[in-house]
């Protein structure tokens, strides 16, 4: 249970460190597995917990975030938990209003339209004041996990957040946000720098609060080509890893493994392999062998089963997992989906996925 009466430190001893070992490139008996959006609407208990609450009000309640983070772990033998939150809490911390519109998704009431609108953003963000509720949720959840598995913290990456802030929500083309990159490159860099600085502080705060790994989501990488990615995404992705690591050292905080997940960025895998992250997450549109060839052996890979494979019968899921493990190899590898779970997925099929990863990887390791 998630009660708020615990001390911030003195965390329980970790019982299953398979995920952290794989992230660091150490040998593991089985391939660890977790799922993006594992705390989510596909679980009836999630829908029940969230029923009466506004989405962002849920994000601001440490007790609810803790409960939602733990739900999938009560059902499945996952090797990691990821804190329940949203990438758009960062734009909120910059002073933007975001509401969750049923049937439409996250919507900014006043997206950035002109370069002058950047002046409306907070230029200095005190992350503890603005995002302290996430830190509280992490500390509470880390205690409530009782050392069962490690807890992952996360943030959206600068380009992905910028695209939401200009588009005002989801978009199939990102034309408004991309037009800034072409028309207002200097202003775009100012915004991306502001975001990167907040993200660095935010990720540090998450580790101080108890996060044992960090994932950076560049979910909209696929809207950029190699040149735009090179100019407007990669430098900030690199900078975040470097700054977080040097500041963790300075503040004598644990050096936690970091994961970069840049969806649809096959064109940048070589660069991402050298961007300072222990783990590179992959979407389902790239062959494991190709990814390994481009990324090399020094970095752990994470991914990349097509989420829609979970609509298949359970036996078929097992076959697909076996093939995936054979393609990636069972070491320096963390099994996951190539993107998040969808709300209409059958929890039993998620369980079949998790169990298949454990069973097949153990079998392959023995033989």
Q: How far apart, in whole angstroms, are the C-alpha atoms of residue 68 and residue 83?
A: 8
Dihedral sign, CA of 272, 274, 276, 280?
Answer: positive
Separation CA 113–CA 138 (nearest Å):
34
Quote the tokens at residue 127.
């992350």
Give the closest residue to 165 by CA, choosing from 229, 110, 226. Answer: 110
8 A C-beta contact, residue 333 and residue 21: no
Q: State how far the Cα of 25 lies from the Cα of 27, in Å rounded to an integer.
A: 7
Catalytic residues: 37, 41, 50, 86, 164
Taking the C-alpha atoms of residue 2 and residue 319, their distance in angstroms, rounded to an integer, is 37
Q: Which residues pair with 216 in a beta bridge?
A: 155, 260
Nearest CA to 149 out of 70, 259, 216 is that of 70
CB 226 within 8 Å of CB 272: no
3-state helix, strand, coil in the chain (%, to 5): 50, 10, 35
- In 3D space, the residue among 349, 352, 341, 360 whose CA is nearest the CA of residue 82 turns out to be 341
| Residue 91 neighbours by CB under 8 Å, 6+ apart | 98, 108, 161, 164, 165
């Amino acid at each position: 249970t998630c009660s708020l009466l615990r001390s911030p430190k003195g965390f329980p001893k970790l019982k299953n460190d398979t995920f952290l070992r794989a992230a660091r490139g150490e040998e593991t008996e089985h391939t660890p597995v977790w799922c993006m959006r594992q705390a989510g609407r596909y679980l009836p208990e999630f829908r029940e917990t969230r029923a009466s609450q506004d989405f962002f009000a849920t994000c601001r309640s440490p007790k609810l975030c803790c409960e939602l983070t733990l739900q999938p772990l009560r059902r499945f033998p996952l090797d990691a938990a990821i804190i329940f939150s949203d990438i758009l809490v960062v734009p909120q911390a910059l002073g933007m209003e975001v509401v969750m519109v049923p049937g439409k998704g996250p919507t900014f009431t006043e997206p950035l339209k002109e370069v002058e609108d950047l002046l409306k953003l907070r230029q200095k963000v005190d992350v503890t004041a603005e995002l302290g509720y996430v830190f509280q949720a992490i500390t509470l959840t880390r205690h409530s996990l009782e050392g069962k598995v490690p807890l992952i913290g996360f943030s959206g990456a600068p380009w992905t957040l910028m695209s939401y802030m200009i588009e005002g929500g989801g978009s199939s083309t990102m034309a408004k946000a991309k037009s800034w990159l072409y028309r207002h490159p200097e202003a775009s860099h100012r915004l991306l720098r502001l975001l990167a600085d907040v993200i660095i502080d935010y990720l540090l705060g998450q580790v101080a609060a108890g996060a044992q790994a960090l994932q950076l989501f560049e979910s909209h990488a696929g809207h950029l080509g190699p040149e735009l990615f090179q100019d407007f995404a990669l430098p900030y992705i690199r900078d975040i890893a470097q700054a977080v690591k040097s500041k963790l050292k300075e503040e004598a905080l644990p050096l936690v493994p970091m994961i970069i997940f840049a969806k649809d960025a096959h064109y940048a895998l070589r660069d991402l392999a050298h961007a300072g992250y222990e783990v590179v997450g992959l979407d389902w549109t790239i062959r494991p062998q190709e990814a390994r060839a481009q990324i090399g052996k020094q970095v752990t890979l994470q991914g990349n089963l097509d989420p829609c494979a979970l609509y298949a019968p359970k036996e078929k899921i097992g076959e697909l997992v076996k093939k995936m493990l054979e393609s990636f190899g069972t070491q320096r590898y963390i099994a996951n989906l190539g993107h998040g779970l969808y709300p209409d997925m059958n929890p039993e099929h998620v369980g079949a996925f998790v169990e298949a990863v454990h069973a097949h990887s153990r079998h392959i390791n023995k033989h």
